[in-house]
Chains A and B, each alone.
Chain A
Amino acid sequence: MECDRVDRENTIERYLAGALPAAEKEEWELHYFGCDRCARKLETLSLVREPLQSMAAGIRREIPEPSKSRTWIWAAAGIAAALLLAVGLGRLLPPKPAPPRVANSNGPQAPRLEDLAQLEPPAYDPRTLRGVDSKSETQFRDAMVFYQQRDYPKAIAGLRAATELDPHAAAPRFFLGASYLLSGNTADGIRELRAVADGPSPFREEAAFDLAKGYLRQGDRDSALRELRRVVALHGDLRDQAEQLTARISGSR
């Protein structure tokens, strides 16, 4: 069994729910007894599953309800567009026999490149970065308050000031790059993330991964794949994710 397949097929979740078929279950058990990375994920998820269940009601309250009115408007717009298209096409094109059922595939569609390029805000844990009493650190922490509020323009201003105070500090530059990407400024995001990815900092792996996302936004598959190969070669926490994204890019539209 490959680690990539474990993530792709939600093997751990199905295992913990008792939903794996017997043969697959034994294959998975043999795998994780010999695989540190998968074992670590399993141990973490096994540990939090019960507490998550006990906290479920509170967590569900945090999940925003999809807006019904907006859904209705978009659904109506979609139906109207489909009708117009059907009427228009019907006038323009000669009637055709119904397509074979196989063309009406219900299977998983190839992912779109712009979907693969979506970036989740990199996690920031203030605990691990506190304690360095410098102007740059103070500036960085202040800027990260805006980052956590997803106010990226203000975060960018503060993080730029922090990088000017300490041009060699990796954390402000990494989050500056991420903030640029998250605010839609891909070129500047790529520039800052490249500086971090090419350096020796602990953010190197994550910077290379996010850099790949930046290149995907620009439609530059080759550069994205090159960065993902770097991530894989680092053998870090993002290796599985990089391998999965590589596979999805290969099958993307």
Chain B
Amino acid sequence: MHLTPQVGSLQELAARIEKGDAGAEEDFFRLFEGRVRAFAIANSGDRDLADDLVQEALWAVIRALRNGQVRQPDQLTSFIFGTARNLLNDRLRSRGREKLDQLSQQPDIARADVEQRRFERHHAACQAIRMLEPHERAVLLLTLVDGLGAEEVAARLGITPESVRQRKSRAIRKLSGILAASSQNPAPRLLRSIDM
């Protein structure tokens, strides 16, 4: 397992949040935003819900850190996972029974910001895919969308499984780099007031 947050150790980050450091909250949000979103999409397939959950879960954790309620900071990642999972389960259980969720009560400008960001992410992903070599796109499509293993992709493309793994690895690194460069957006990500 590789834990290498660029903002220092997670414990340091938690301590800074407890002291009320707003910059630490932004760092924390940036660090876990993607994994909470991916978790929600993988478990619900609902991107609206995923965007809501990112805000709700990470704010819940930030509130807990601010109030010194996280008793074992060395197990912070498990705490974040548990919080996200519980909130997602709540959301999925109450789906259809509740017409209004908390985010829908936010001003329209906040919802528009979320949708704008989603559009930007989708657009950036399409652009990044276009910047790959055709053979890299092919490997990604066959593995990620068609669900083929390296041996099957190799047979389909007439190359070795080792080449498939290399192409995939290079494609992911390329995509990560391009997407990281395109997400250098200074606009605020935290949409909620901590006191709500």
Contacts and interface: CB of A to CB of B under 8 A. Distances in A.
Contacts of A31: 1
B143 A10 contact: yes
B165 A62 contact: no
A34 B3 contact: yes
A179 B134 CA distance: 20
Q: How would you classify the secondary structure of chain B's contact residues: helix, strand, loop or mixed?
A: helix
Interface string B1-43: 1111100000000000000000000000001101101110110
Contacts of A62: 134, 137-138
Contact of B165 (A1, A2, A37, A241): A241
A122 B173 CA distance: 12
B82 to A, nearest CB: 9
Question: Which bracket fits the contact residues of A?
Answer: 35 or more
A66 interface: yes
Nearest to A66: B158
Given A39-B35, A42-B35, A47 B129 contact: no
A15 B80 contact: no
B133 to A, nearest CB: 8
24 contacts: A19-B147, A33-B35, A33-B39, A35-B1, A36-B2, A37-B2, A37-B4, A38-B2, A40-B34, A41-B172, A41-B176, A45-B144, A46-B42, A51-B129, A52-B144, A56-B145, A62-B137, A115-B161, A118-B160, A120-B170, A123-B133, A125-B174, A235-B2, A235-B4
Interface of A: 1-3, 7, 10, 13-19, 29-56, 59-60, 62-64, 66, 108, 111, 115-116, 118-120, 122-123, 125, 235, 237-241, 244, 248
